[in-house]
Amino acid sequence: MSCFSCFSSHEKKAPRRANSARRAQLPPAVHKEPVSQPHRPVTEIPRTKTPAPAEAANKETGNNNIAAQTFTFRELATATRNFRQECLIGEGGFGRVYKGRLEKTGQVVAVKQLDRNGLQGNREFLVEVLMLSLLHHQNLVNLIGYCADGEQRLLVYEYMPLGSLEDHLLDFPPDQQPLDWYKRMKIALGAAKGLEYLHDKANPPVIYRDLKSSNILLDKDFNAKLSDFGLAKLGPTGDKTHVSSRVMGTYGYCAPEYQRTGQLTLKSDVYSFGVVLLELITGRRAIDTTRNSEEQNLVSWAHPIFKEPHRYGELADPLIKGDLPVRGLNQAVAVAAMCLNEEASARPLMSDVVTALSFLGTEPEHGATAISLPSPPIEHNMSGAQAKPEDEESMIKERERAVAEAMEWGGSHSRHKTKSRSTSASSL
């Protein structure tokens, strides 16, 4: 699918027969106690020099910044029943993911076994351990521990029973109901909150760099959590506007300026979020080679429609087109269009995106009067036919107004909910 060799491929769901070599003799068990870490209201990430990849994973097991548990290979082999095929729940360029149960605690976990010949090496393994040990938020997947025995590299996460967003939006079986509108917006809001935390709360800020539908995991209540931090990078600080990096990520989700120059900013993540939001709205893949040539790239196909608000309905997923709020659709498309602006500086901050989406992800309560979001105005000519905006500048202003209105409604809704809870509490 990718035309760039440096881009990672999409994760494959179809399991393959496990290699019998992984059932080789297990190393002796050497368990190390986890090191506690004091609570920080704002996450501070030390800017330490990355050690050599060959020794980094083992060297970092004694770092006082690591709060994750360490596991032996034997413990994780036992948890996954020796990495049996029936425990395999995912597979991709990084390696394989197995469902397991820890023998000591009985906790159900997901164990990612890195392929030593795959796309994720020692450096990415170290980055993921460091990042998820220091960053904690309800919309980031929880790293329970890791294993760095010999040449083995494994990561242990909390188990997410509903799998990835890709499983429910793009790869769901015929007998499964498609995600409804409010679940889609709830997932978008959760992913946005995860990015907001990385951009605004972490110090220095963190650029996620690999946002895509397969990296957004879902718990039993469809709460979204970002996973796979192997490509994450510390963002610019001080007077710096960007960090330079070799182009990494997944084709179709990367910001155009990052692909051209290798210059990475927080707005690169905003662009990737816009692609995921557009996938949620349309039910289409970012890149789909099975479609007609003009529709294979989702963003390229959608851009002309962004310029004509009266065509926003064409972007709605046909599977839910008859069961979604039209004005909510208009607002979501307006947010996606802002995030996908070709000019990075014109894209919104993730905090603004969170505010704009906070209302769209809330399903109206049963019996309550639904609040209608204002929709973008549609201009008409004398004959009654719909007319296009006069120029690109007016279209940009229209998108900004739509996002501003969504933010206003989001803020008002949050204040209304807080006031309602206060009133209920005072009446007790």
pLDDT above 60 (res 50) = no
**Is residue 428 situated within a structural domain?**
no
pLDDT above 80 (res 293) = yes
Q: Which residues are catalytic?
A: 210
Which one has a higher pLDDT value, 150 or 65? 150
Based on the fold, state whether residues 280 and 407 are members of the same structural domain: yes
Query: Tell me, what's the pLDDT at 356?
Result: 93
**pLDDT (mean) for 308-323:** 91
Element (H, E) at 128: helix 122-134
**Is residue 4 situated within a structural domain?**
no
C-alpha distances in Å from residue 224, one per residue of 92, 228, 267: 20, 13, 21
pLDDT above 70 (res 189) = yes
Pairing label, strands 206-207, 108-114: unpaired
Query: Tell me, what's the pLDDT at 175?
Result: 85
Mean pLDDT computed over every residue of the chain: 77
Based on the fold, state whether residues 275 and 198 are members of the same structural domain: yes
84, 20 contact by CB (below 8 A): no
pLDDT (tens digit, 9 = 90+) per residue, 68-126? 899 999 999 999 999 999 999 988 767 899 999 999 999 999 999 987 765 566 778 88
229, 215 contact by CB (below 8 A): no
The one-letter amino acid code at 355 reads T
Of 140, 165, 139, 407, nearest to 280 (Cα)? 165
Of 342, 250, 244, 345, nearest to 299 (Cα)? 342
Instruction: Report H helices in 297-391.
Output: 298-306, 326-339, 350-357
Euclidean distance between CA atoms 76 and 96, whole angstroms: 13
Euclidean distance between CA atoms 190 and 211, whole angstroms: 13
Euclidean distance between CA atoms 277 and 295, whole angstroms: 17
Query: Tell me, what's the pLDDT at 322?
Result: 80
Query: Tell me, what's the pLDDT at 328?
Result: 92
Q: Which of 156-165, 346-355, 395-404, 409-418 comes out lowest in average pLDDT?
A: 409-418
10, 1 contact by CB (below 8 A): yes
Based on the fold, state whether residues 150 and 269 are members of the same structural domain: no
Query: Tell me, what's the pLDDT at 239?
Result: 73
pLDDT band at 131 (very low <50, low <70, confident <90, very high): confident
**Is residue 409 situated within a structural domain?**
yes
Domain closes at, from 133, 158, 183: 158
List beta partners, residue 101: 108
Which one has a higher pLDDT value, 404 or 299? 299
**Is residue 184 situated within a structural domain?**
yes
**Is residue 3 situated within a structural domain?**
no
Query: Tell me, what's the pLDDT at 13?
Result: 46
What are the tokens at 10? 């999409």
**pLDDT (mean) for 314-327:** 89
Residue with tokens 């204002």: 374
**pLDDT (mean) for 395-419:** 54
Strand ranges (E), 115-182: 143-147, 154-158
Percentage of residues of the chain with pLDDT beyond 90:
50
How many other CB atoms sit within 10 Å of the CB of residue 196? 19
Q: Which of 43-47, 346-350, 403-407 has the highest mean pLDDT?
A: 346-350
Specify the number of domains making up the chain.
Answer: 2
Based on the fold, state whether residues 131 and 176 are members of the same structural domain: no
Domain closes at, from 136, 158, 180: 158
Query: Tell me, what's the pLDDT at 373?
Result: 38
pLDDT above 90 (res 275) = yes
232, 180 contact by CB (below 8 A): no
What residues make up the domain containing 125? Answer: 20-158
Is 201 annotated for ligand binding?
no
Q: What angle do CA 37, 41, 45 make, to 5 degrees?
A: 60
pLDDT (tens digit, 9 = 90+) per residue, 198-211? 999 998 899 999 99
Based on the fold, state whether residues 232 and 367 are members of the same structural domain: yes
Instruction: Assign residue 416 the CATH number of its domain.
Output: 1.10.510.10
pLDDT above 60 (res 325) = yes
Based on the fold, state whether residues 134 and 207 are members of the same structural domain: no
pLDDT above 60 (res 55) = no
Strand ranges (E), 33-173: 69-70, 88-92, 95-101, 108-114, 143-147, 154-158
**Is residue 312 situated within a structural domain?**
yes
Based on the fold, state whether residues 129 and 230 are members of the same structural domain: no
Query: Tell me, what's the pLDDT at 90?
Result: 86
3-state secondary structure 196-246: HHHHHHCECCEECCCCCHHHEEECCCCCEEECCCCCCEECCCCCCCCEECC
Of 197, 185, 252, nearest to 224 (Cα)? 185
Which one has a higher pLDDT value, 287 or 374? 287
Q: Which of 23-32, 54-63, 131-140, 267-276 has the highest mean pLDDT?
A: 267-276
**pLDDT (mean) for 57-64:** 38
**Is residue 14 situated within a structural domain?**
no
Q: Contacts by 103-110 with C-beta closer than 8 Å and gap 24+?
A: 103/75, 103/78, 103/79, 107/144, 108/159, 109/79, 109/144, 109/156, 109/157, 109/158, 109/159, 110/156, 110/157, 110/158, 110/159, 110/160
Question: 3-class DSSP state for residue 259?
Answer: helix
Based on the fold, state whether residues 347 and 386 are members of the same structural domain: yes
Euclidean distance between CA atoms 286 and 419, whole angstroms: 40
**pLDDT (mean) for 400-411:** 56
Work out the end-to-end distance of the chain between its first and last CA atoms, rounded to an integer number of angstroms. 59
